[in-house]
Amino acid sequence: MSFFDHKDFDNHEQVTFFTDPKTGLKAIIAIHNTTLGPSLGGTRFYPYASDEDALTDVLRLSRGMTYKSAMARLPLGGGKSVIIGNPKTDKTPELLRSFAQSLNRLGGRYIAAEDSGTSVADMKIIHETSNHVSGYHEKKDAHGGNKSGDPSPATAYGCYLGIKAAVKHRLNLDTLKGLTVGIQGLGNVGYRLAEMLAKDGVKIVACDINDEALSKAEAELGATIVSLEDIYSAEMDVFAPCALGASVNLATVDKLTASIIAGSANNQLDTLSTGELLHARNICYAPDYVINAGGIIDVCYEQIGQYDPAAVNKHIEGIYDTLMEIFQRSAADNIPASHLADTIARERLAEKHPVVEFKQTA
């Protein structure tokens, strides 16, 4: 099969493969679109079953980053990188420095950040060799304290607001109290989201491959723990996918009891037709790259060089309004929310008018 015929190739500007036998680095960096600015996206370190799976992931994720930045009105393009391997056993400082050299070869067209399998500490190691990385600065939080470069709290906050928007639209409720949310994945974002929801009186149903995270959620948040397979059929009002992608598909939709899907995972839908299925079944879907944009907003303001927690939070709070626009237009025009979000993102790309000025820092 020709690369250009790949089902997830979407006129990407550049896709580059990097290897370093000395450190074991095997990486792919995909730059989807730089219309609004340099591409920025996380570096995912994951033991893909095949190189084809890694390529598919980086192509889909980079396209999602283009639309995510456009929907959030950021002066950034869309890009993503994947490192093939097990982060627990294969990740070394030498490998990360080799990856940093790969970033340098792209000359700033792609800026890396934290993602699944990488951390703030990893970004700091990468920054030893490359300036084309973000998410490593210490900065002030909204309460005047210090916070790390981890964008997870911002992503969780945006997701929390997105759930409130979906509940307002689909259930016509101004409160989350008494509702049940099923959270698939209690990682950095998923657990923080669970904490926010629990404070609002939400009942949490959760699953994860990490038994320690499950025990903590059960003890601290009163969460009901279910298996990975049973999360879909559990009784809940909102299903929040917060793990890896493609968890919303024909098989799982048939099991769902929730009338809302709103979570932080990227590429939640396995295919475009699944978005049509959700619309036909009157399931309110919050498009993933809209609801999970809090992290990229946080990282973008870090890149500007003047991190203002109040300005960041205000920008993240715009996620609520953007989702309400999508939900309302979807209902009025009888168009799946997933399709409509793509349309609006392309409209915003065409406008070429982000709301903050980008200035890359060293």
- Dist. CA 143–CA 252, nearest whole Å: 41
The string over 83-114, giving b where at least 16 C-beta atoms fall within 10 Å of a residue's C-beta and e elsewhere, is: bbbebeebbeeebbbbbbebbeebeebbbbbb
Max intra-chain CA distance, the chain: 58
Residue carrying the six token digits 């698939």: 184
Torsions phi, psi for 138 (to 5 deg): -80, 140
Nearest residue to 87 (alpha-carbon basis) of 45, 55, 48: 45
Q: Is 80 a catalytic residue?
A: yes
Q: Are 238 and 257 in contact (CB under 8 A)?
A: no
Half-sphere exposure of 249 toward its Cβ, with a 13 Å CA cutoff?
A: 8
Residue among 274, 279, 184 nearest 238 (CA):
184
Going by C-alpha positions, the residue among 200, 145, 322, 182 that lies closest to residue 262 is 182
What is 274-291 written as a DSSP string? HHHHHHHTT-EE--HHHH
Of 26, 80, 91, 164, which is the active-site residue? 80
Residues noted as catalytic: 80
